[in-house]
Each structure stands twice: as C-alpha cells, then as structure tokens.
C-alpha cells in the first residue's frame, strides 16, 4: 500500500513539481494551497505533510500548531519545505521542535526524496518494532517506545537541518550552537529514557 504525502504550498508550480517527483517514487499525493485548506483536507491516513511557511490565510507555523493540537492528527509527521533559512528567533518563537525536518528550497529531486524517504521509512520501522513490543511487553511499553523513538529521530533531523541551513558545522553562529546544544541535551534525555524502558523488558 502506497504512502500518502500532503503537499501544502501556495505556489501551484511547486506543488506540481513535488507531486511529480513523489508520484514517480510510488507515493500518493494530496495538495493544499495554504494551512487552512490543509487542516480541512487532513485525515488520519496521511503519512507526511510537507508544508511551506509563508502562505495566505494560514501560514505554516499556525497550521503546524493546529495539527499538533488535534489529537487524531497530532501523530502525523510534518516537515517544513521553504525558502526561508532557519534563524534563532524561529527556533525560539515557533513550535520548531515539533517538526520532523526543515527542507530548504531550492532542492534537487534526490535531496527531496532522501529526506521524505528517511522520514517515512523511519516511522515504518519504529511502528513495526512497536507492534512487536505490544505482543511481548504490552501496549503501554509499545506506545512509550514509539513516542520516545519518534522524538529522538526528530531531534536528530532538526540538529542536522540547523547545521545544513548555516552552511556546515564550521559556519555556525553562537546562537545556533546554543540551539543545537539544547537539542542535543534534550535528545540525550529521551535516549536515556528509551534505554531504561528497553532494559526493563530485556
């Protein structure tokens, strides 16, 4: 069964390009022209949302907050797909930490597919492992494993996205180094919790 990606962008040409790239790869694609339409069209079978930031009616950040605030949609991964580079204010003043990734335009076909496939494949592997744990260790452990693993992977991607947005590790300003350090510390806490969870069932 093919995975479904929703592409949210106010530029029709961008939606067309992304649709063609993803459909050739075997994905099903839905489209929305802004955050408001995204929320209206969203359903639980969507596997990933690729979201522009600057859009009329409802921008990407407001749409992200709404998606994560609706319980039946909150587990759907969302990645920004934008021409705006990451800045410190954005990290501090937006729900940046809820993103799966931050993909910069312009992008190549291979860059887009690499990031989309990584998110989709990682979620699938985590879900498979969680399903196995539900039989061996129970539903509670399975859900906790899934949530911890998703958060750890999310922080890993966002740390890399910040580095890429700044042009590499050597070009990081102090504000971005501080943001990365904070994310690394949070990631480690979740990793410690995951180790504790798994050691308790081994």
Is the pLDDT assigned to residue 147 strictly greater than 70?
A: yes
pTM, full prediction:
0.94
| Burial letters 90-103, b for 16+ CB under 10 A, else e | bbeebebebbbbbb
Neighbours of 71 (CB within 10 A): 7
Question: What are the sequence ranges of the domains in the chain?
Answer: 4-199
Q: What is the dihedral of CA 154, 155, 160, 165, to 10 degrees?
A: 90
Q: Is CATH 3.30.70.260 what the domain over 4-199 is classified as, yes or no?
A: no
Report pLDDT digits (tens) over 45-69: 999 999 999 999 999 999 999 999 9
Q: Using alpha carbons, list the distances in angstroms from residue 43 to 6, 9, 39, 174.
A: 10, 18, 9, 40
* Residue 92 confidence class, pLDDT cut points 50, 70, 90: confident
Would you give the distance in Å from CA 105 to the centre of its chain? Answer: 16
* Residue 202 confidence class, pLDDT cut points 50, 70, 90: low
- Closest by Cα among 138, 156, 157 to 197: 138
E strands of 14-148, at which residues?
Answer: 28-32, 48-51, 78-82, 101-104
* 57, 35 contact by CB (below 8 A): yes
Report pLDDT digits (tens) over 70-87: 999 999 999 999 999 898
Report pLDDT digits (tens) over 157-198: 999 999 998 888 888 999 999 999 999 999 999 999 999 999
CA angle 101, 106, 111 (to 5 degrees): 55
């Amino acid at each position: 069964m093919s995975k479904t990606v929703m592409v949210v962008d106010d530029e029709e040409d961008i939606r067309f390009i992304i649709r063609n790239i993803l459909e050739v790869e075997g994905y099903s694609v839905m489209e929305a022209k802004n955050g408001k339409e995204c929320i209206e069209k969203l359903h639980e079978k969507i596997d990933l949302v690729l979201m522009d930031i600057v859009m009329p009616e409802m921008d990407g950040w407001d749409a992200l907050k709404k998606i994560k605030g609706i319980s039946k949609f909150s587990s759907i991964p969302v990645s920004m797909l934008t021409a705006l580079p990451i800045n410190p204010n954005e990290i501090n003043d937006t729900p940046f930490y809820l993103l799966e990734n931050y993909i910069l335009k312009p992008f190549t076909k291979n860059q887009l597919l690499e990031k989309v496939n990584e998110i989709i494949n990682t979620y699938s592997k985590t879900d498979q492992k969680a399903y196995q744990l539900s039989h061996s260790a129970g539903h509670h452990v399975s859900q906790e494993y899934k949530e911890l693993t998703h958060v750890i992977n999310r922080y890993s991607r966002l740390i890399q996205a910040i580095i890429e947005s700044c042009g590499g590790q050597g070009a990081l300003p102090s504000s971005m180094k501080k943001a990365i350090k904070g994310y690394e510390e949070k990631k480690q806490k979740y990793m410690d919790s995951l180790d504790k969870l798994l050691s308790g069932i081994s």
